[in-house]
Amino acid sequence: MLAGLLFANHDADDRPNLLAATLPFAGGTLIEYQARLLIGAGAAQILVAVTRATPELVGAVNRIRKAGVPVDVVRTAAEALEKTHPLATLIAIADGLIAGEETVRQMTDGEGDALLVVEDSAGLPGLERLDATLLWAGIARAGPRRLADAARLPEEYDLQSTLLRVVAQGQPEVVELDPAAVRAGHGIERDSRALAQRGRRALGARLAQRRPWIDRFVLTPLARLVLPPLVDRGVAWPWATGGGGLLGLVGAALIVARWPGAGMVLATLGAVFLSFGQGIAWLGGVDRAARRHDWVIGGLAAVAVVLLGGVLSHDSGTASGWLAAAALLVAGALTERAAPDRARPHWWGSPIAYLVVVMVLTLCGLPLAGLIAGAGYAAAGLAAAIERLRERGRRSTGNR
């Protein structure tokens, strides 16, 4: 069992009487972002160590609880020890730390005590020193026995520093921070303006994980321009999602009204706005809603394709439109299920990519060719996935 320990003790550098952990970051607060990382890594319990409970912190804790994970506020190591499951592995994240998903997962995957470290030469301010050359990079893994050791020390000691020293004295595993994480913005930040800039970088890093070309070269650049202003203005994900759905409905109506080019343009824009809603939902910690957006985007693409195929078949008096649309739907659906996200090459298709292909050829006056090209594109991805599975099977047989 994993339990997370977050610290909310230091004030913001530029906003007195406001805890740095409650500064806005990535659509919520910094401590909510840290909690999302821990919950995403499998934490079944969150402990928040505080010296004082501010209204902003109480609100953030209540929002974290909505994720379905119990959250306990503690003030001392003894209280933390009492609240922690006796068999739990504790993942502690430093006050004000910005970290990436891969870094947190790297620390949660192992067993036993461990400290994430970085060379002093990396030039990361705000980190606690371990020795002459190493700094603590803000994440520690420890068992409840280390909390028991810390609980035997005076309560007025800083809990974060005390726990760090206790773990460091126990000869823990030393895990070096990936230089890529440093370049991505890993570090301590307690200035609200700098934190807002880092929030945009965190969003960019999150979006950059998408592999298909339509995401990397079209949606990600657009999202980096559009999402930060929307998040800064407090626009909730249902507004972006609702706008995308409305554009999709208008596009579908135009297709039925025999304006296929305009209809496909609006349907594609609707899918793009739905992807923006997905990004805002992720930033707000609504992971379940963010995952459902994939189905909504796929559904919008399917409706547009079916309506276009139906209109083409009705006007031509043949089944060619229906058949092309059906081929695209079947091949596209199977391709979506054929490989995990990280295994997909950059040329891989997606519902929005298929819409773009159909839209471009429809605007050129070739809607049937657009459906056929989309179906061929999806079929190519499916064929590549099948070949990958066959190659894996041959390797497995050869190893025997």
334-368: per-residue pLDDT in tens?
A: 988 876 666 677 788 889 999 999 999 999 999 99
Contact in structure between 156 and 75 (CB atoms under 8 Å): no
Q: Which is more confidently placed, 349 or 115?
A: 115
47-69: per-residue pLDDT in tens?
A: 999 988 899 999 999 988 888 89
| Mean pLDDT of the 97-110 span | 88
Cα–Cα distance between 363 and 113 in angstroms, integer? Answer: 60
Determine which helix (DSSP H) or strand (DSSP E) holds 231, and give its type and residue range. Answer: helix 220-232
374 pLDDT exceeds 90?
yes
Residue 80 tokens, joined: 């933390």
209 pLDDT exceeds 60?
no
Categorize the per-residue pLDDT at 263 as very low, low, confident or very high, splitting at 50, 70 and 90: very high
Q: What is the mean pLDDT of the chain?
A: 86
Work out the angle at residue 381's Cα, subtended by the Cα atoms of residues 392 and 221, and round it to the nearest 5 degrees: 115
| Mean pLDDT of the 247-253 span | 95
Categorize the per-residue pLDDT at 397 as very low, low, confident or very high, splitting at 50, 70 and 90: low
Contact in structure between 329 and 349 (CB atoms under 8 Å): no
CA distances from 351 to 214, 304, 332 (A): 10, 11, 7
256 pLDDT exceeds 90?
yes
Contact in structure between 6 and 49 (CB atoms under 8 Å): yes
Determine which helix (DSSP H) or strand (DSSP E) holds 373, and give its type and residue range. Answer: helix 367-399
Residue 89 tokens, joined: 């592995």
User: What is the model's pLDDT at position 207?
Assistant: 58
- DSSP reduced 3-state for 25: strand
Cα–Cα distance between 83 and 346 in angstroms, integer? Answer: 46
User: What is the model's pLDDT at position 398?
Assistant: 61
Residue 165 tokens, joined: 């020293």
Name beta bridge partners: 174. Answer: 115
CA distances from 68 to 57, 61, 88, 89 (A): 18, 12, 18, 19
Determine which helix (DSSP H) or strand (DSSP E) holds 115, and give its type and residue range. Answer: strand 114-119
CA distances from 393 to 47, 341, 381 (A): 45, 20, 18
User: What is the model's pLDDT at position 22?
Assistant: 92
Report the Cα–Cα distance between both ends of the chain, in Å, rounded. 35
Cα–Cα distance between 146 and 177 in angstroms, integer? Answer: 23
Share of the chain above pLDDT 70, in %: 92
Residue 206 tokens, joined: 């999150």
Q: Which is more confidently placed, 232 or 45?
A: 45
Cβ-proximal residues to 221 (8 Å cutoff; 6+ apart), any chain: none
- DSSP reduced 3-state for 264: helix
| Mean pLDDT of the 374-397 span | 83
The structural domains of the chain, ordered by start, are: 2-190 (3.90.550.10), 210-396 (1.20.120.1760)
Which of 147-156, 157-166, 322-331, 351-360 is the least confident region?
147-156
In angstroms and rounded to an integer, the radius of gyration of the C-alpha atoms of the chain is 25
Categorize the per-residue pLDDT at 308 as very low, low, confident or very high, splitting at 50, 70 and 90: very high
